Chain A
Amino acid sequence: MRGESRVRIVLLHPRLLGTYGDGGNALVLADRARRRGYDVEVVPVDGAASVPQDADVYLLGGGEDQAQTLATNLLRKSGLDHVVGAGRPVLAVCAGLQILGHRFADPSNQAIPGLGLLDVTSGRGAVRAVGEVVAEPYDGSPVLNGYENHRGVTTVGAEASPLAHVALGIGNGDATGTEGAVQGSIIGTYLHGPVLARNPALADRLLSAALGTLEPLDDELVDRLRAERLSAAASARATGRLRRWLIRRRTG
């Protein structure tokens, strides 16, 4: 793949879907590709522009309600379906995950049709899920860590599979204890952080889907960050257990 050493990363509607730092996913992919000797081009797609068909990775981030609906409408005839049909890797975060599904709920709880590219359906939960998340991927890859901030409740259909099992946090929030969804070349997740900054294995999974086998990188710094975050999460979990135990003792 080094012969054609240019990597193109498409960032879909960053002005609408970039509320929680998710544009950072493009920066992380660009950095990891550059460190492996590739030239990188990040291509933001805004407004009514159509989606480039021949890029290497496609990214969708989280956004506010009104922006989410607008982004969905802009993406309907954008050619994103052909990109998915061609098996190009797509990462969809939070609102992005919901947009790719069959439908999601707007603030008045009205169902808005999604793009139907991912077999998930999202509704609106009673409370907002806000906090650190630790989730164990079903494919045995390294544990995922990030921050969630959403009110979506997402059910994964038969065509897709959940991405991970939630150890801390809410995730899909549909009582299955799952987080995110995977289908073909699409990976969907509720995690910010941004998710690729805190989970380099996930970043490399997207890159290798486009570029083939990748050289390993020195990840000493990000490994330190992950160790710190996972240890903070472990103590948060222990505190949570202690609090629940105390409440049970008081009420029981």
Chain B
Amino acid sequence: MPSKLPPGRALLSHRTSTPSYQATGTLSSAPRGRDLRTSLAVALGKLTATASRALGRGGGSIIGGRVILAVQPRALSALVAGRPVTLVSGTNGKTTTTRLLTDALRTRGSVATNASGANIAAALADTVATPADQLVLEVDELYLPRVLTETRASAVVLLNLSRDQLDRMNETKAVAARWRAALATAELPLYVVANADDPLVAWVAEAAVDVTWVGTRNSWSLDSAVCPDCGRLLHHGPEGWFCDCGRHRPATTFAVVDGRLETPDGVLPLTLQLPGTVNAGNAALAVAAAAARGVAPVDAIAAIEQVTSVGNRYRRYSVGGATVRLLLAKNPAGWAELLSLLEPSNSTVIAINARVADGRDPSWLWDVPFEALAGRTVVAIGDRRLDLAVRLAAAGVEYVVADGLRAAMAVRPEATAVDVAANYTAFRDLALELDRAR
């Protein structure tokens, strides 16, 4: 193998018609020679994380990571120690795509990943301290530029950008501008896998040298009304988005078409256990990123098809005589997708919080097409159940306000199948509650 190629970087490129999926370079399994300060930082971080877990204060990765970074501010770059790093970021699908990619890469070696979804810089330090051949990191949108620089990642997967936690992110376009600047100045080689159907992501990724475009059939267009380049109104046609200035959806190398996946190896069947078109798009991005790391699409798909739930998303719990399915959505784009997954015959419970990690402003509830649930009775729970109930009432949806999951399930005690859809912190709390109830 030519030694000029970077570690972990495959020969695959969208310019190659007959790609080879042999990973190049060496994969060093253990982090090499840590300096004393980094070792001390990691030891203290692990101690803190263990103490946090013992005290029942959560998983401990954030507090542990904070300690690591406090003792060694350069810990991320020190701990990566030359191992290939792939970053995954975007508004929706980070945790799922990270999991799918990790499972695909594990067919060829060990992978350390932040499977818990703890994705801000402090939490990453804890993951990066784990020995493994390579790293796959889900990264919060605002932290992506910093983490890209510090980890010297050689691959980035860009999923989508839409309105989310506007109290923290402010404007979606501003997040895109930061990403674009980060890609334009990133250390090379950098292999970018990007969603061609999101005009903002396309604008970001064109700043990179080496891009593989993936067609996801992402249909959310509320946050891509204007051309990110010229400010004109974008059009959406059968060939995807385009602008009068000449910009248009880039041609793709991987794409979801009628439930199958177009790849450089031909059109392959894709039979996911995860529901919805959104997850087919996530799978396409994961397969494209895995190909960049030397895993053939057919092998990546085989691994991805085994996944039934991701961090409790879509997980089924048995409670009393009922099967409870837990679903997560965090913002209008995610909810629009989720509503189509709710079974009309099931009892429907929706839980909404507006804590810091959710975004403090639940105005976005009015961007969610809850009108689609008309004819059903929805039980509203969570800190902001009254905001939800007011929204449901205006949508013409029958609602019941309940104090929690137990009370919600008592509304229709005879129900044998219950869909519980929740936003981020509500989902996290419900998963804990359901685990305890088992």
Measured CB to CB, the residues of A under 8 A from B are 15-16, 18-24, 27-28, 30-31, 46-47, 64-67, 69-70, 128, 130-132, 147, 149, 192-194, 197, 221-222, 224-225, 228
Contact = CB atoms under 8 A, between A and B. Distances in A.
20 contacts: A20-B361, A24-B365, A24-B391, A27-B394, A30-B394, A31-B393, A47-B233, A70-B226, A128-B170, A130-B170, A132-B360, A147-B167, A147-B361, A192-B361, A193-B363, A197-B366, A197-B390, A221-B389, A225-B386, A225-B387
Contacts, number: 92
B163 interface: yes
B394 A197 contact: yes
B366 A228 contact: no
Given A47-B233, A65-B173, A70-B232, A21 B390 contact: no
By CB atoms of chain B within 10 A, which of A23, A28, A31, A64 has the most? A64
In the complex, the 8 A-B pairs of residues with the closest C-beta atoms, listed nearest first: A24-B366, A21-B363, A21-B366, A15-B225, A225-B386, A147-B361, A31-B394, A64-B171
B225 A21 contact: no
By CB atoms of chain A within 10 A, which of B172, B361, B391 has the most? B361
A193 B232 CA distance: 28
Contact of B394 (A18, A22, A28, A70): A28
Interface in B211-225: 222-223, 225
A15 B222 contact: yes
A21 B367 contact: yes
Contacts of A149: 166-167, 170, 361
B231 interface: yes
Contacts of A23: 366-367
B365 A21 contact: yes
B364 interface: yes
Contact of A18 (B174, B222, B395): B222
A27 B365 CA distance: 12
A93 to B, nearest CB: 10
B386 A19 contact: no
Chain B interface: which size bin?
20 to 34
A194 B366 contact: yes
A68 to B, nearest CB: 10
B360 A131 contact: yes
Interface in B132-182: 163, 166-167, 170-174
Contacts of B363: 20-22, 24, 147, 192-194
Contacts of B163: 19
A221 B394 CA distance: 11
A6 to B, nearest CB: 18
B171 A221 contact: no
Contact of B167 (A15, A47, A131): A131
A147 to B, nearest CB: 4
A62 to B, nearest CB: 9
A224 B233 contact: no
B233 A15 contact: yes
B393 A64 contact: no
Contacts of B387: 225
A27 B395 contact: yes
Interface string B52-81: 000000000000000000000000000000
A130 B387 CA distance: 19
B7 to A, nearest CB: 40
B364 A21 contact: yes
B265 to A, nearest CB: 39
B220 to A, nearest CB: 12
Given A20-B363, A70-B233, A193-B363, A228 B167 contact: no
Interface string B392-410: 0111100000000000000
B231 A221 contact: no
A130 B366 contact: no
Contacts of A15: 222, 225, 233
Contacts of A19: 163, 166, 171, 223
B389 A66 contact: no
